[in-house]
């Protein structure tokens, strides 16, 4: 049994630490009213706009009819859970395309009218009246994207579906965390992410390069599920007479160095071998020697408005060729 | 009683506060660099 003095010191340490955390939370909230931290914004996105899906292969979906200000831009979710305008299920005369993807397709950190989805929709009008429905959702992998399409996308009777593949699409589908409630505290998100960042600084094997490469190791379950999902999507598209295309989006940490060329080559090889038309945009970004000029923020390597413009320009011909004039 | 308690351990209390602030600032300083982590995020 510890003595009275030891008990007093322990009590003091506990109470003062709790008070420090409360004070830190208040200071951080005050700071974040004028500034943004990527991790805090992603945590807010998850808590404010995502809700569990009944389908475990989808994991979560957007809450319908919600509006939030995230990563310095307004985000409005329509009644079917997409960051887009309202579209009737019944298809009109317009050529209808569905874009599948993750936070890059969602347009994280970019105004809606500056996303590559919106830019392509406007550009494609010159060829024929076209509407694009954006199914992009943050942190989705290919398995989730395909299952969302099978559950919701087919109801829209699209003429064309384009899956925007990113290097982390081979991640396993995330499971609900028992520590999710901690996301209510900015200070918890802040310390969690900063400690991870510090760890990665001293141990490169925990950084993005090693992490993304490891997703494609032989036998990696996420990559296996991604391949199965792509074949499932191909078969569903064939069955319903839908034109299917895949566009590989570049990883923007060092586009000129093409850090993940072998992994993207592996994905392209798989797609070609299975008769899925695909375009890798990475070579078109090889001249970008200032990566951060393409980022949403220094702590967020998502593509900004300039990068979205480049993605739209680079993929226009490929996407347009699937629709009749 | 609380006043006596705080007076008795005031330097320990100050020490804890200083350590907390210093650790927070050091963490902020050491991680103030371009994003080096994958997008992967424990969301749901």
pLDDT in tens, A77-109: 999 999 999 999 999 999 999 999 999 999 999
- CB-side neighbour CA atoms (13 Å) of A299: 17
What b/e sequence results for B6-39 when a residue is b if at least 16 CB atoms lie within 10 Å of its CB, and e otherwise? eeebeeebeebeeebeeebeebeeebeeebbbbb
Rounded-to-integer distance, Cα A107 and Cα A97, Å: 17
CA separation, residue A207 to residues A63, A196, A287, B34 (Å): 31, 9, 24, 12
DSSP summary character for residue A192: H
- The pLDDT assigned to B44 comes to 45
Tell me whether strands A300-303 and A295-297 are parallel, antiparallel or unpaired. antiparallel
**Taking residues A222-239, what's their average pLDDT?**
97
pTM of the model: 0.91
pLDDT (0 to 100) of residue A8: 83
User: Does the CB of A138 have a partner CB in chain B at under 8 Å?
Assistant: yes
Burial code (b: 16+ CB inside 10 Å, e: under 16) for A78-87 equals bebbbbbeeb
> Which residues on chain B are in Cβ contact (under 8 Å) with A8?
5, 8-9
CA–CA min distance A180, chain B (Å): 7
Residues of A in contact with B43 (CB under 8 A): 42-43, 45-46, 50, 60, 138-139, 174, 177
Say how far apart CA A106 and CA A268 lie, in whole Å: 23
pLDDT digits (tens, 9 = 90+) for A239-261: 999 999 999 999 999 999 999 99
Cα–Cα distance between A129 and A137 in angstroms, integer?
25
The tokens 């391949």 sit on which residue?
A227
∠A272-A276-A282 over CA atoms, to 5°? 65
- Percent share of chain A, pLDDT over 90: 77
What ipTM was estimated for this complex? 0.78
For the segment B14-27, the average pLDDT, to the nearest whole number, is: 89
Total residues belonging to chain B = 44
Looking at A48-62, A100-114, A116-130, A199-213, which range is the least confident one?
A: A199-213
Exposure letters A100-118 (e unless 16+ CB within 10 A, then b): bbbbbbbbbbbebebbbbb
Contact of A145 with A226, CB cutoff 8 Å: no
Question: Does residue A236 register a pLDDT over 50?
Answer: yes
Burial class, A14, CB count within 10 angstroms (exposed 0-12 / middle 13-18 / buried 19+): exposed
Q: Kindly list the residues from chain B whose CB atom is less than 8 angstroms away from the CB atom of residue A213.
A: none
């Amino acid at each position: 049994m510890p003595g009275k003095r030891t008990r007093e010191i322990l009590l003091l340490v506990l109470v003062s630490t709790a008070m420090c955390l409360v004070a830190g939370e208040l200071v951080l909230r005050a700071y974040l009213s004028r500034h943004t931290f990527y991790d805090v914004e992603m945590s807010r996105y998850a808590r404010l706009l995502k809700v569990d899906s009944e389908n475990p292969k989808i994991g979560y979906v957007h809450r319908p009819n919600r509006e939030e200000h995230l990563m310095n831009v307004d985000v409005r979710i329509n009644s079917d859970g997409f960051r887009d305008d309202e579209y009737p299920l019944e298809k009109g005369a317009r050529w209808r395309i569905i874009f599948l993807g993750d936070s890059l397709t969602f347009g994280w950190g970019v105004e809606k009218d500056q996303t590559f989805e919106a830019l392509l929709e406007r550009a494609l009008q010159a060829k024929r009246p076209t509407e694009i429905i954006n199914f992009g959702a943050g942190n989705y992998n290919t398995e989730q994207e395909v299952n969302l399409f099978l559950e919701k996308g087919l109801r829209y009777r699209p003429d064309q579906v384009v899956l925007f593949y990113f290097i982390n699409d081979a991640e396993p589908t995330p499971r609900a965390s028992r520590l999710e409630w901690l996301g209510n505290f900015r200070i918890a998100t802040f310390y969690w992410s900063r400690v991870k960042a510090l760890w990665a600084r001293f141990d490169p094997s925990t950084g993005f390069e090693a992490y993304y490469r490891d997703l494609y190791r032989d036998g990696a379950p996420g990559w296996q599920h991604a391949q199965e999902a792509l074949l499932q999507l191909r078969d569903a598209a064939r069955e319903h007479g839908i034109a299917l295309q895949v566009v590989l989006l570049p990883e923007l940490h060092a586009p000129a160095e093409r850090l993940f060329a072998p992994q993207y080559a592996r994905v392209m090889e798989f797609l070609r071998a299975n008769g899925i038309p695909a375009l890798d945009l990475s070579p078109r970004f090889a001249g970008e020697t200032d990566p951060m000029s393409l980022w949403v923020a220094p702590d967020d390597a998502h593509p900004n408005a300039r990068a979205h413009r480049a993605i739209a320009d680079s993929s226009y011909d490929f996407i347009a060729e699937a629709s009749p004039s | 009683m609380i006043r006596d308690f705080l007076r008795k351990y005031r330097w320990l209390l100050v020490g804890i506060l200083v350590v907390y602030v210093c650790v927070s600032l050091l963490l902020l300083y050491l991680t103030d660099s371009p994003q080096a982590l994958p997008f992967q995020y424990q969301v749901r």
